[in-house]
Amino acid sequence: MNSVFATFFDQREHGEEIVAKQWYGGANRMKTILIVVLFCGYPVLASAQTAFPALLADGPAAQYRQKLMLFGQFVGDWAFDGIEYHADGSRVTDKGQIEFAWVLEGRAVQDVWIERERSDGKVKTYGTTLRVYDPKLDAWHIIWIDPPTGSQQTMIARKAGDQIVLEGKDREGIAIRWIFSEIKPDSFHWRGERLVGTSWRVYEECFPHRINATPRYGALIESSKPRVTSTVFPTLSFIGSGWSGAFPYTPMGAPSIIKVWGL
């Protein structure tokens, strides 16, 4: 038999296939083999829990489970459409996503707000909120930070009837509040208000709708990449005249298959 030669191409993003061709001499026949190949010691990204276990949690802490569900009810992935209202009467619209997740042994909820589109073309928000329940106050400490825009905010949040009201002051010392209202399992309304004189004026609002009840931790994991925690070897099975297999995660974070053609 002639020598065997194989070429492997680099993996492409978004789960596209890795392709390899194998040529060898012998009888004039062709067979197709599907095989998943993972080289010895080839590292992969594990699940969110494995990748950052010190931060992420599976659910609320048992001691304050009921209280923690005030923000825990939002855990999962959301898409939103938003509007900003400027003092000159102009408006800016945006679209984006929000990911809420349990963190810190289930004692807090963290979310990431990501603008994907802005009608004014300015810097897009990519910020995170840490929401920590304080049983002594029976309230929540809120810390918001948005590095791209330089925005930072601390607030106190409480349930107010069927709404959740966050209160604080902006950089100029003006009272502001953020309000979650019209809360349903798959949607809610959020608005930001600023005290002008003796009246509250809305300066921003958004309308999120749920797209996934289980958080994927995509945005929360971004900051920890590349974190390699394990090595996985393929499991193969014989199908028809060939072999196939799969491994759940790759360094790109997407499933992959390697195809090998024998000629």
Confidence at residue 52, expressed as pLDDT on a 0 to 100 scale: 73
Tell me the domain boundaries of the chain. 5-45+228-262, 49-222
Confidence at residue 128, expressed as pLDDT on a 0 to 100 scale: 97
Q: Inform me whether the pLDDT recorded for 260 exceeds 60.
A: no
User: Tell me: the pLDDT tens digits for 2-26?
Assistant: 443 333 334 444 444 434 343 334 4
More confident residue, 30 or 174: 174
Confidence at residue 67, expressed as pLDDT on a 0 to 100 scale: 97
Q: Inform me whether the pLDDT recorded for 246 exceeds 70.
A: no
User: Tell me: the pLDDT tens digits for 81-122?
Assistant: 999 999 899 999 999 999 999 999 999 999 999 999 999 999
What is the C-alpha to C-alpha distance for residues 111 and 217, in angstroms, rounded to an integer?
Answer: 10
Confidence at residue 212, expressed as pLDDT on a 0 to 100 scale: 83
Confidence at residue 216, expressed as pLDDT on a 0 to 100 scale: 62
Question: 35-44, 155-164, 190-199, 220-229 — which is least confidently predicted?
Answer: 35-44
Confidence at residue 220, expressed as pLDDT on a 0 to 100 scale: 57
Residue 170: name the closest of 144, 189, 148 by CA: 144
More confident residue, 85 or 224: 85
- Count the Cβ atoms, other than its own, within 10 Å of residue 248: 11
Name the average pLDDT for the chain: 75
What is the C-alpha to C-alpha distance for residues 187 and 213, in angstroms, rounded to an integer?
Answer: 11
Fold topology of 49-222: Lipocalin (2.40.128)
Confidence at residue 53, expressed as pLDDT on a 0 to 100 scale: 80
Give the pLDDT band of residue 214 (cuts 50, 70, 90).
Answer: confident
DSSP states of 149-185 as a string? TTEEEEEEEEEETTEEEEEEE-TTS-EEEEEEEEEET
- Count the Cβ atoms, other than its own, within 10 Å of residue 53: 12
Confidence at residue 29, expressed as pLDDT on a 0 to 100 scale: 43
User: Tell me: the pLDDT tens digits for 44-82?
Assistant: 344 444 567 889 999 999 999 999 999 999 999 999 999
What percent of the chain has pLDDT above 90? Answer: 59
Tokens at 49, concatenated: 């829990």
User: Tell me: the pLDDT tens digits for 122-177?
Assistant: 999 999 999 999 999 999 999 999 999 999 999 999 999 999 999 999 999 999 99
